[in-house]
Chains A and B, each alone.
Chain A
Amino acid sequence: MNENDRDQMKKLLQQALPPVEGEREPGRDLWPAVLRRLDAGPAAPPWFDWALGAGLLGLAAFFPASIPVLLYYL
């Protein structure tokens, strides 16, 4: 991909995904939600995160060649 191709891709991407204009305000006061979050403490990872992690470890253990592919997508 040469410099001209890169410039074309940048132009196309900017057309496809218009930038956010200026600084934005949240639609609601978020401080009460922050206080609730502080009271709630850390969220426990859902069970499927553990299952996914175990699956990936198993895959890496039985098929070491998959490790670079997994690292690429992390």
Chain B
Amino acid sequence: METGSSGILNEFRQGNVDAFESLFRLHQRAVYSWILRIVRNPAAAEDLTVETFWRIHQAHARFQPSHGFEGWARRIATHAAFDWLRAARHESELPAELAAPATADPAISAEIRVKTAMAFSRLPPRLRIAAILAVVEEQSHKDVAAALGISVAAVKLRVFRALRLLRKDLLLQGITP
């Protein structure tokens, strides 16, 4: 999703509010959806979308039009969502209407799913954010790395550590994945 208009990007960089509104209208859905994937809470995702665009506006002078807007906005959105995850312990419960069509594995009981979600919410936020994007949302390691501002190797390591800690927590509860 590129804006295709370097004029708007340059005007935004100069601090033009109309150009900023154009970029907001063009990208708010993508930013909101990305944040929702991380925080899994529609009300929080709306607030964080506002926070993200505020941060974007604050940083307009540092924006590089040649690097494109979407990736930059996504990175700022990821940091805003990460700050939210870090601020408090939040469950990763997704409202039923937002979830993908149920293809529940009958071998995995509802109780195990709930305990897994609870154990996942206890992981350190930096591991949780990498795992939710790479494993649950199946984003490429390259995209996750760009959003988090870390290397692909670091993403793989965080996902590995998240899964290992999650498995350890479940084993302690008597659940053998």
* CB-based contact B29/A25 at 8 Å: yes
> Is B36 engaged at the interface, CB distance under 8 Å to the other chain?
yes
One of B6-14, B113-121, B145-153 contacting the partner: B113-121
A21 touches B98 (CB 8 A): yes
Task: Answer whether A17 and B33 are a contact pair too, CB < 8 Å, given A12-B112, A26-B49, A30-B50.
Answer: no
Residue contact B136 to A14, C-beta cutoff 8 Å: yes
Contact across chains for B92 and A17 when beta carbons are under 8 A apart: yes
Number of A-B contacts (CB under 8 A): 123
Q: Decide: B57 and A38 in contact? CB cutoff 8 A.
A: yes
Q: Assess whether A16 is interfacial by the CB under 8 Å rule.
A: yes
Chain A interface residue count, Cβ-Cβ cutoff 8 angstroms: 34
Q: Is B102 an interface residue (CB 8 A)?
A: yes
Indicate if B40 sits at the interface (CB-CB under 8 A): yes
B29 and A27 form a contact (CB under 8 A): no
Known A-B contacts A1-B163, A12-B112, A15-B105; the reply to A31 vs B99 at CB < 8 A is: no
B114-149 CB contacts (< 8 Å) to partner A: 114, 116-117, 120, 124, 126, 131-132, 135-138
Docked complex Cα distance between A17 and B21 (Å): 34
Partner of B135, one of A14, A27, A28, A73: A14
Chain A residues at the B interface, C-beta cutoff of 8 Å:
1, 5-6, 8-28, 30-31, 33-34, 37-38, 42, 72-74
What 9 A-B pairs have minimum CB-CB distances, sorted nearest first? A16-B116, A18-B99, A9-B163, A16-B113, A21-B100, A37-B54, A33-B50, A16-B117, A24-B33
Apart from A21-B100, A34-B50, what are 16 other A-B pairs with CB-CB below 8 Å? A9-B177, A12-B108, A14-B135, A16-B117, A17-B92, A19-B37, A20-B98, A23-B29, A24-B29, A26-B28, A26-B32, A30-B32, A37-B50, A37-B51, A37-B53, A42-B58
